[in-house]
């Protein structure tokens, strides 16, 4: 009886705290403020590390950027590229030169015109090694893009040129069938040279300096609370933007943001608590959307691992150990008993539903079982010198704050203890710390995930090339690098797909990562919120959204 009373009190205090977070922010329950202007509140589950288009590499950052900025192209609801800042374009017969014709009424949020020079500057800035963009490789499709990034070419040799204020010419290294989709991706968004260079380290943290060119402009940046945007009066298609204000909330605790959704204080959340999800899906309160994304653990194979835990680093350098760890995980149990949101156990790295360039689904092979293969896992661990886990060093799993990540880590911890006799500790840190430690290879095993930047298997495979900014495992294999390089330059679609399959074969032979499941995007949305685009690339796009009266 006392336990129940305290539980009721705790829930009441939690709801009161949530209410205080949203006090004074307008009435989300009816979707409008006292002036009748529509406002929506969207939870992005963590404060972005950055909302600088050239530096961002997280989903939460992209959620904001894709509504604040606009690239040469946009994505429609079928994920196909449509005109954005560029109203039309020409492609040369060899597929190497794209000439974009910019609309002359495109403007920045401060009223200045958007020009081709802004795109040229942004792309070269992201490629500049001094910028240290983790997504610089996404611009290696440009002629001499990689060479410039690696100090082997000059800036003026990069294949992007503003022919005049409204004509941008992009020259590619090789024909790239998804290039128009890439130009809708945040790294390809324009930024203003005068704005960035005046405040290079802080321009993307303040409303007065965060000058953007999309439907919404930043009006408030409340650290650890929300990033608030209002409709930009200078956006070229302003008259068709129906939502006046978007408040991006950064609640990380699933129970808290789900409670806020239930009370009407949030209009959209994703990843509701696992225990609630099956019933939410059944009732229609939540909906599962297609999502090209994978959940996995990085194994730190970089030289830095030795300084974290030399014994663990030595053990994990043996591929038999890595395979044993992977085989000892029951992925079906995790998806059915832990996450419970329709996720699919991952038996490859490229998620099901991802295209190859030959018009087919890429995934055609299962590299390991959906359930644990305990006998084989024990056999491999014994061959590596650790029979029954004897003498095996203690491991640590790093993950960022969210109940779901903790639940998965605890499940893996239990499986490795029970199936292999290995002891594992868990380390929970806030998202920004988690990202920094992954990027700097300051971990042993790290929770990670990857969402497609475009619908092609390459978006998953090229992150593991040597030195890639998103290669958190520090994996390096010359054969793998060569296969990816060959695939990017191969004009024959069937041959290209074959090379990518060979690359995945190599990746999952070496196992610098442990795939766990393919995501689904489970979203709870205010039923009055219409035409919000829930992209299979992980974006929430509100360009066409409106609140039903």
CA-based max dimension of the chain: 77
Which long-range contacts link 91-96 to residues 24+ away (Cβ below 8 Å)?
94/175, 95/172, 95/175, 95/176, 95/177, 96/143, 96/171, 96/172, 96/174, 96/175
Cβ atoms 251, 6 nearer than 8 A: no
Concatenated DSSP letters for 465-477?
Answer: STT-TT-TT----
pLDDT confidence of residue 17 = 44
| CA neighbor of 251 nearest in space, from 47, 41, 14, 23 | 47
Task: Specify the pLDDT at position 450.
Answer: 96
Per the listing, tokens 């994703």 go with 270
| Separation of alpha carbons 434 and 420, rounded Å | 27
The residue among 140, 46, 181, 176 whose CA lies nearest residue 463 is 140
Instruction: State how far the Cα of 254 lies from the Cα of 273, in Å rounded to an integer.
Output: 5
Distance CA 149, CA 132 (A): 9
Is residue 69 within 8 A of residue 165, CB to CB? The reply is no
Four-way CATH pick for 293-519: 3.10.105.10, 3.40.190.150, 1.10.3720.10, 3.90.550.10: 3.10.105.10
Distance CA 11, CA 389 (A): 42
Look up residue 319 and give its DSSP letter.
H
Break the chain into its structural domains and give their ranges.
Answer: 29-45+217-284+523-547, 69-201, 293-519
Secondary structure of 187-240 as H, E, C letters: HHCCCCHHHHHHCCCCHHHCCCCCCCCCCEEEEEEECCCEEEEEECCCCCCHHH
Q: Are 517 and 214 in contact (CB under 8 A)?
A: no
- Compute CA distances 170 → 93, 159, 428, 532, whole Å: 14, 6, 44, 31
Query: Which residue in this structure is represented by tokens 């609370």?
Result: 225
Strand, helix or coil for residue 254: helix
pLDDT value for 420: 98
CA distances to 54, 77, 269, 372, 489 from 534, in Å = 23, 8, 11, 33, 32
Other Cβ atoms within 10 Å of 2 Cβ, number:
6
> 3-state SS of the chain: helix, strand, coil percent to 5?
35, 20, 45
Q: Which of 367, 381, 371 is nearest to 334 (CA)?
A: 371
Query: Residues 6 or more apart from 540 whose CB is under 8 A from it?
Result: 42, 63, 66, 67, 268, 532, 533, 534
Name the helix (H) or strand (E) containing 4: helix 2-22
Contact 108, 192 (CB under 8 A): yes
Is residue 347 a contact partner of residue 370, using CB atoms and an 8 Å limit? Answer: yes
CATH architecture of 69-201: Alpha-Beta Complex (3.90)
Amino acid 364: pLDDT = 83
Q: What is the pLDDT of residue 32?
A: 63
Task: Sort residue 282 into left (φ over 0), alpha (ψ -120 to 50) or beta.
Answer: alpha
Q: Is 99 exposed, middle or buried (0-12, 13-18, 19+ CB in 10 A)?
A: middle
Which residues of the chain fall below pLDDT 50? 1-28, 30, 34
- The per-residue pLDDT for 12 is 40
Q: How far apart are CA 276 and CA 91, in angstroms?
A: 49
Which CATH class for the 29-45+217-284+523-547 domain? Answer: alpha beta
């Amino acid at each position: 009886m006392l336990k129940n009373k305290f539980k009721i009190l705790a829930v009441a205090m939690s709801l009161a705290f949530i209410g205080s977070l949203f006090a004074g922010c307008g009435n989300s329950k009816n979707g409008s403020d006292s002036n009748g202007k529509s406002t929506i509140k969207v939870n992005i589950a963590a404060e972005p590390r950055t909302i600088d288009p050239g530096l961002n590499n997280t989903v939460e950052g992209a959620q904001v950027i894709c509504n604040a900025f606009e690239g040469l192209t946009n994505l429609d609801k079928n994920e196909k590229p449509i005109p954005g800042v560029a109203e039309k374009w020409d492609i040369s017969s060899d597929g190497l030169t794209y000439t974009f014709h910019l609309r002359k009424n495109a403007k920045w949020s401060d009223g200045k015109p958007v020009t081709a020079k802004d795109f040229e500057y942004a792309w070269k800035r992201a490629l500049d090694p001094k910028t240290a963009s983790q997504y610089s490789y996404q611009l290696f499709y440009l002629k001499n893009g990689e060479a410039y990034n690696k100090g082997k070419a000059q800036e003026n040799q990069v294949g992007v040129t503003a022919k005049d204020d409204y004509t941008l010419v992009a020259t590619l290294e090789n024909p790239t069938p998804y290039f128009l989709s890439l130009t809708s991706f945040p790294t390809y968004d324009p930024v203003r040279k005068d704005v960035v260079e005046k405040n290079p380290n802080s321009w993307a943290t303040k409303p007065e300096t965060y000058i953007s060119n999309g439907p919404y402009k930043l009006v408030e940046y409340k650290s650890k609370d929300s990033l608030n945007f209002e409709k930009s009066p200078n956006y070229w298609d302003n008259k068709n933007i129906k939502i006046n204000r978007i408040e991006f909330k950064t609640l990380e605790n699933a129970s808290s943001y789900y409670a806020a959704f239930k009370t009407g204080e949030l209009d959209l959340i994703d990843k509701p608590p696992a225990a609630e999800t099956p019933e939410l899906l059944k009732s229609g309160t939540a909906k599962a959307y297609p999502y090209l994304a994978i959940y996995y653990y990085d194994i730190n194979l970089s030289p830095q691992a030795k300084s974290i835990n030399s014994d663990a680093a030595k053990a994990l350098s043996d591929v038999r150990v890595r395979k044993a760890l992977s085989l000892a995980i029951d992925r079906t149990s995790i998806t059915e008993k832990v996450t419970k949101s329709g996720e699919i156990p991952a038996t490859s790295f490229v998620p099901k539903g991802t295209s190859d360039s030959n018009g087919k689904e890429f995934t055609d092979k299962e590299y390991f079982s959906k359930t644990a293969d305990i006998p084989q896992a024990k056999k491999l661990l014994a061959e590596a010198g650790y029979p029954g886990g004897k003498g095996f060093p203690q491991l640590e799993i790093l993950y960022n704050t969210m109940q779901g990540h903790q639940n998965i880590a605890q499940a893996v911890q239990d499986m490795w203890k029970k199936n292999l006799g290995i002891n594992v500790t868990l380390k929970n840190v806030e998202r920004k710390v988690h990202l920094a430690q992954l990027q700097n290879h300051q971990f042993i095993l790290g929770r990670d995930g990857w969402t497609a930047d475009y619908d092609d298997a390459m978006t998953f495979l090229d992150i593991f090339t040597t030195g890639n900014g998103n290669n958190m495992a520090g994996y390096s294999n010359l054969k793998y690098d060569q296969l990816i390089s060959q695939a990017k330059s191969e004009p024959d679609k069937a041959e290209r797909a074959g090379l990518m399959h060979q690359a995945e074969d190599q990746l999952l032979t070496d196992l610098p990562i442990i795939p766990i499941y393919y995501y689904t995007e489970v979203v709870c949305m205010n039923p009055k919120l219409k035409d919000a685009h829930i992209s299979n690339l992980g974006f929430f796009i509100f360009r066409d959204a409106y609140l039903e009266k």
